Amino acid sequence: MPQHPFSHYLADAAEIQETRATLAIRTAYGSLLPKLTESEAEFARNALPFWTFFYIKERDLDHVCPLVRTMKYLRLEDQPEYAEGLRYILRQAREDGSFATADLSCKCLSQLSAESIDVERTINLPLTVAALWTLLECFSESGSWLPCALGSEQPVGAN
């Protein structure tokens, strides 16, 4: 993770994705509280809410979902951006149960206008999976989605 305290303002999408992935792995997707240095913890506490806020403003569900999950993994649920991220995700629900942002669909269609694509499968299905994964992890009592998804009443590893 970057060491400069303000580098999160300059991070591009690839750096944000790399940071999210690193933190997800270091927490075993929320199963462990990672041992972060003081500067890493401060960076994460500043960067994740900032990036979440930025992508909510950009109306980018594809980035908001993993950022909210990462905040959950690091136990940053006390941050206002965590709750706002969840509210944003819930506002993207459609009547048919899928999740999508019209802006993203329109943007993708305009960029790919020469090709015929199935918007529901190519764009909305991955967004729906990401949104449901995030909501399941964030609202699951155990903090782990696997026992809930399998119908188990005990967390993974519980005897």
pLDDT tens readout for residues 137-150: 999 865 554 444 44
pLDDT at 133 exceeding the cut of 90: yes
Nearest to 23 by CA among 64, 82, 80, 73: 73
Instruction: Please tell me the predicted confidence (pLDDT) of residue 38.
Output: 92
- Alpha-carbon distance values, 93 to 38, 80, 97, 149, 150 (Å): 38, 21, 6, 20, 24
Average pLDDT over residues 152-158: 43
Three-state DSSP class for residue 89: helix
pLDDT in tens, 28-65: 999 988 889 998 999 999 999 999 999 999 999 999 99
**Residue 143 neighbours by CB distance under 10 Å:** 16
SS3 content of the chain, % helix, strand, coil (to 5): 60, 0, 35
Tally the C-alpha atoms within 13 A of residue 129's C-alpha that lie toward its C-beta.
6
- On whether the CB atoms of residues 67 and 51 are closer than 8 A, the answer is yes
Question: Cα–Cα–Cα angle for 20, 6, 59, nearest 5°?
Answer: 50
